[in-house]
Chains A and B, each alone.
Chain A
Amino acid sequence: MTLVSTQSTVGSAKRRRKGFDLSSQTTMLLIFLPPAILLFTVFVMLPMAEAAFFSPYKWSGYGPAPWAFNEATGKSFGTWTGGANFERMFGHSAFQTALSNTFKVISVSLLVQLPLALMLALMIYRKSYANTVFRLIFFVPYILAEVATGLIWSFVFDGNFGLSRVITDTFELQKAFFPLAEKQWAFNTILAVIVWKYFGFHMMIYIAGLQSIPKDLIEAARIDGARPLQIIFFVKLPMLWPAITISIFYSVLGALQVFDLVMPMTAGGPSNSSHTLVSYLYNFGFIRLNVGYGSAVGVFLFAVGVIFAFVYRNTVQREAAR
Chain B
Amino acid sequence: MSSFTWRSALRICVLLLVSSLILVPLAATILGGFKTDGELRAEPFGLPEVWRTQFYGEILIDPQFWRYLWNSLVISLLTVALTLILGSMAAYAFAQATFFGSRFLFSYLLLGLMFPFAAAIMPLFLTVRDLGILDTPWGVILPQVAFGLAFSIMFFRTFFKQMPPELFEAARVDGCGYIRFYFYFTLPLSTPILATIAVFVFVQSWNNYLLPLIMLNDRAGYTWTLGAMDYRGEYISSWNRTLAFMTMTLTPAVVFFIAAQKYIVAGLTGGSVKG
Contacts and interface: CB of A to CB of B under 8 A. Distances in A.
B15 A120 contact: yes
B146 A42 contact: yes
Contacts of B108: 37, 40, 45
Contacts of A47: 120-121, 123-124, 126-127
B23 interface: yes
Interface stretch (B49-57, B190-198, B264-272): B264-272
Interface in A131-174: 134, 136-141, 143-148, 151-153, 155-156, 158, 160-163, 165-166
B127 A43 contact: yes
A48 B115 contact: yes
A48 B119 contact: yes
Contact of A259 (B7, B18, B210): B210
A294 B121 contact: yes
B228 A151 contact: yes
B159 interface: no
Interface in B22-53: 22-23, 25-26, 28-29, 32, 40-41, 44-45
- Chain B binding surface SS class: helix
A233 interface: no
B229 A166 contact: no
A123 B11 contact: yes
- Chain A binding surface SS class: helix
Interface string A301-322: 1100110011000000100110
A271 interface: no
A28 interface: yes
Interface string B204-233: 001101100110000000000100110010
Interface residues of A, number: 98
A283 B39 CA distance: 36
Contact of B250 (A61, A148, A205, A260): A148
B189 interface: no
A237 interface: no
Q: Shortest 5 CB-CB distances between A and B: which pairs? A: A23-B177, A43-B146, A208-B269, A36-B90, A145-B207
24 contacts: A23-B178, A23-B179, A24-B178, A27-B178, A32-B182, A37-B108, A39-B86, A43-B127, A47-B120, A50-B123, A50-B126, A119-B14, A140-B22, A151-B232, A151-B242, A156-B25, A160-B41, A204-B269, A208-B269, A242-B272, A247-B272, A263-B229, A285-B122, A305-B115
Given A44-B117, A44-B143, A208-B272, 11 more contacts: A27-B178, A48-B120, A50-B120, A123-B14, A152-B26, A153-B25, A228-B7, A260-B209, A260-B210, A264-B232, A305-B116
